[in-house]
């Protein structure tokens, strides 16, 4: 997640949204350089400093992941990724931002890494998406502890070109700011996790991935659609908000939306009464299946 976790982020379940930056950093161990960040945690992307080896690593990451997309990623993701023309090297965020702003009014801002919840929500609410500036090392090709620029850019930015998805993410940011004094962040974190990061969508051609954690993962993108091990069930806001998740392994449950319009509509209501109800309900395990729930078959 930018404030967001890539698969395997080594923070506890609530970390992405519950803690302040200092708490998240586990004593200041976050990887990014926060020394030059402004009050909104924005930094300047020193793109000219990217080395040929880093651009080459980006190309390898991009090529591996792009080859996995056909038949697995939703069409909007594939179409917009191609439109971004980002295969040749680490993208210059200010340049990529121009096309995005023309398309949906979103811009990209460079950040050192994970940012505090409130800062993250304020960016989203203002249609700014924070993108981590550093790239993983070659040794982290398959596994990255914190989200890097490949996860944030490749995984998240293509769907910001989709008008409905773009509106949804802005509303999510506004909802986060409203949820903070209501004790709603644990529930919103689960919603983000099971949609923006690990969501599946039903299409006429079959199930497809739209979550950034899936689309930037070399292994889970096939597992989430094809493995018989995890369960796939229809999206329901309250169900999702009750469900714990795994951060150290592939997901045990994926929630399936019918369209981005469904996601937008179902997450638009004021969640204040829902948070109050959820606070009196026990959370569900990541692999829970309720008696009336139907499991959707893998593709």
**In a 3-state reduction of DSSP, which class is residue 177?**
helix
Cβ proximity to Fe ion: between 1 and 100 the closer is 1
CB of 6 to Fe ion, least distance (A): 6
Instruction: Yes or no: say if 232 and 207 are a contact pair by the CB < 8 Å rule.
Output: yes
The DSSP-derived string for 151-208 is IIIIIIHHHHTSHHHHHHHHHHHHHHHHHGGGT-HHHHHHHHIIIIIT-EEEETTEEE
Query: Which two tokens mark 266?
Result: 């179902």
Cβ proximity to Fe ion: between 4 and 253 the closer is 4
CA distance 148 to 110: 11
Residues in contact with Fe ion, shown as a per-residue x/- string from 165 to 204 under the rule CB under 5 A = ----------------------------------------
Residues in contact with Fe ion, shown as a per-residue x/- string from 2 to 41 under the rule CB under 5 A = --x-------------------------------------
CA distance 112 to 2: 10
| Strand boundaries in the chain, DSSP class E | 107-111, 128-132, 200-203, 206-209, 231-234, 253-257
CB of 97 to Fe ion, least distance (A): 18
Cβ proximity to Fe ion: between 1 and 124 the closer is 1
Window of 66-74, 208-216, 226-234, 269-277 that interacts with Fe ion by CB under 5 A: 208-216
Cβ proximity to Fe ion: between 62 and 275 the closer is 62
Query: Which two tokens mark 162?
Result: 């989709």
CA distance 119 to 116: 5
The binder of Fe ion chosen from 1, 37, 78, 201 (CB under 5 A): 1
CB of 114 to Fe ion, least distance (A): 10
CA distance 67 to 59: 12
**In a 3-state reduction of DSSP, which class is residue 92?**
coil
Q: Does 108 bind Fe ion (CB under 5 A)?
A: no
Instruction: Please report, as residue ranges, which positions from 210 to 239 form the binding site for Fe ion (by CB under 5 A).
Output: 212
CB of 183 to Fe ion, least distance (A): 23
The conformation of residue 111, written as its DSSP 8-state character, comes to E
CA distance 186 to 168: 19
R_g over Cα of the chain: 18
Cβ proximity to Fe ion: between 1 and 109 the closer is 1
CB of 247 to Fe ion, least distance (A): 12
C-alpha neighbours within 13 Å on the C-beta side of residue 58: 24
CB of 143 to Fe ion, least distance (A): 15
Cβ proximity to Fe ion: between 1 and 144 the closer is 1
Window of 25-33, 90-98, 205-213, 220-228 that interacts with Fe ion by CB under 5 A: 205-213
Instruction: Yes or no: say if 196 and 16 are a contact pair by the CB < 8 Å rule.
Output: no
Window of 1-9, 113-121, 240-248, 254-262 that interacts with Fe ion by CB under 5 A: 1-9
Residue nearest to Fe ion (CB): 4
Residues in the site for Fe ion, rule: CB under 5 A?
Answer: 1, 4, 212
């Amino acid at each position: 997640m930018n404030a967001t976790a890539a698969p395997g982020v080594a923070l506890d379940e609530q970390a992405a949204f519950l803690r302040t930056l200092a708490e998240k950093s586990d004593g200041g161990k976050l990887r990014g350089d926060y020394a030059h960040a402004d009050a909104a945690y924005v930094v300047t992307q020193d793109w000219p400093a990217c080395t040929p080896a880093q651009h080459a690593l980006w190309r390898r990451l991009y090529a591996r992941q792009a080859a996995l997309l056909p038949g697995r990623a939703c069409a909007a993701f594939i179409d917009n990724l191609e439109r971004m023309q980002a295969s040749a090297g680490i993208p210059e965020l200010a340049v990529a931002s121009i096309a995005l702003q023309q398309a949906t009014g979103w811009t990209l801002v460079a950040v050192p890494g994970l940012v505090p919840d409130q800062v993250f929500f304020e960016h989203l609410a203002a249609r700014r998406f924070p993108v981590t500036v550093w790239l993983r090392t070659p040794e982290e090709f398959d596994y990255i502890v914190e989200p890097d620029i490949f996860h944030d850019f490749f995984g998240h930015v293509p769907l910001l070109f989709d008008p409905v998805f773009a509106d949804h993410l802005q509303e999510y940011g506004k909802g986060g700011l409203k949820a903070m004094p209501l004790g709603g962040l644990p529930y919103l974190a689960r919603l983000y996790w099971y949609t923006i990061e690990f969501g599946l969508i039903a299409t006429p051609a079959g199930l497809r991935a739209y979550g950034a954690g899936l689309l930037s993962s070399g292994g889970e993108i096939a597992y989430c659609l094809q493995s018989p091990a995890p369960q796939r069930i229809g999206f329901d806001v309250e169900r999702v908000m009750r469900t714990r998740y795994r951060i150290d392994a592939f997901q045990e449950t994926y929630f399936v939306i019918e369209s981005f319009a469904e996601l937008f509509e179902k997450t638009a209501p004021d969640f204040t009464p829902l948070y109050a109800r959820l606070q009196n309900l026990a959370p569900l395990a990541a692999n829970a299946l309720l008696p009336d729930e139907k499991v959707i078959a893998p593709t």
